[in-house]
Amino acid sequence: MATTTIGIDRDTLLWMYKTMVIIRRFEEQSKREADAGKLRGMHSSIGQEAVPVGVCAHLRDDDYVLGTHRSHHHCIAKGLDINQMMAELLGKSTGTNKGKGGTMHIADIDKGMLGANGVVGSNIPVATGVGLSAKVRGTDQVSVVFFGDGAANQGTLHEAMNLAGIWKLPVIFVCENNRYAESTPVEYSVAGESIAARAEGYDMPSVIADGQSVLEMYEIGGEAVARARAGDGPTFIEAQTYRYHGHFGADDPLAYRTQEEEDYYEARDCISTMVSYLLENDVLAQDEIEAIDAAALADVVEATRFADESPFPNDGELTTDVYISYA
């Protein structure tokens, strides 16, 4: 396999680039659908694509990922079908969750996506249990939980880190620090020098990563996954990143942050910096980049068509899945 100057094979680089672009196009379309009134409460992940892509590049289908209210990028990075995802956003029966969960609850067990979750910090203990399960069953599966800087202040994170620490579980805690819990800045809400520093109290290896660099996320994610697979316990990654849009799409982020700050992060955009890297290192030519971009857009157009043309669930679905069997 061709290997580049930094030791990442070409196929992996291409997968990471293509996946980030698909996420970006998917999220742009999701926002259009929300703006058109076809769904509500869409939390855009634009700007944060590199974080799950770099980590999930090391994962197998039988590894698990757990997410947040803002999880479309986690789902795509974990390999979920975007046709089914878009159908879920529109509440259609062909969606990942049969239309019953929606944008904040996308799950696909076969792909190792154990669910986005609408309650901040709620999934972190669950991910710890997934790691416990792998350990007890004697597999080398890995559990990765993504959460935001807001969740860093929930008790659930601290309890889960302690459990993962004492039991040496194969759990990777990935904090996507996008600097804002809704409108609340991280420097106001987090005591201490960093979120990553909190892991030290649990004797857990921790690192602050540039979440705008998919190559750095790949490197750091690789070390964490290797540690977990080898049975050497959990890792805490604080990925410093930025969400370009507001908290849920309808809010104006300039009400609580500056244009200057937005410009700073957008100048370090994870996709455009990756394009520069690919071109400068002769991994891809300009026309190949354009071909990948065009293919990604076509995939999202097709996903939208699929979702639009899919039927809503039957009325009977209202009361199914409450229990295994419910008359």
Interface with other proteins (CB under 8 A): 39-41, 91-93, 97, 99-105, 117-122, 150-151, 153-156, 181-185, 187-190, 251, 255-258, 312-313, 315, 317-319, 322
Considering the complex, state which of residue 94 and residue 213 has its C-beta at the smaller distance from other proteins.
94
Checking phi first, is residue 61 left (phi over 0); if not, alpha (psi -120 to 50) or beta?
alpha
Greatest CA separation for the chain: 62
- Tell which residue, 195, 206, 200, 121, has the closest CA to residue 172: 206
**Rounded Cα gap, residues 262 and 265, in angstroms:** 5
**CB closer to other proteins out of 18 and 38:** 38
State which residue, 94 or 241, has the beta carbon closest to other proteins. Answer: 94
Given a contact cutoff of 8 angstroms between Cβ atoms, the answer to whether 133 and 98 are in contact is: no
Residues 6 or more apart from 194 whose CB is under 8 A from it? 208, 238
Q: Minimum Å distance from CB 153 to other proteins?
A: 4
The first and second tokens of residue 15, run together, are: 């997968």
Collapse the DSSP code of 89 into the 3-class scheme (helix H, G, I; strand E, B; otherwise coil) and give the result: helix
CA 107, distance to chain mean position in Å, is 12
CB of 74 to other proteins, least distance (A): 17
What is the smallest separation between the CB atom of 242 and other proteins, expressed in angstroms?
16
DSSP letter, residue 314: P
Complex with other proteins: residue 103 or 177, whichever CB lies closer: 103
Q: Which CB atom, from 260 or from 280, has the smaller least distance to other proteins? A: 260
CB 69 to other proteins: min, Å: 9
User: For residues 322 and 305, what is the distance between their CA atoms, to the nearest angstrom?
Assistant: 30
Q: For residues 59 and 190, which CB has a smaller minimum distance to other proteins in the complex?
A: 190
Which value, in Å, is the radius of gyration of the alpha carbons in the chain?
19
Per-residue CA distances from 21 to 25, 141, 212 (Å): 6, 28, 14
Q: Taking the mean position of all CA atoms in its chain, how far away is CA 10?
A: 23
State in angstroms the smallest separation of the CB of 55 from other proteins.
Answer: 23
| Residue 308 beta carbon to other proteins: minimum distance, rounded to whole angstroms | 14
Nearer to other proteins, 56 or 151 (CB): 151
- Provide, rounded to whole angstroms, the least separation between the CB of residue 199 and other proteins: 18
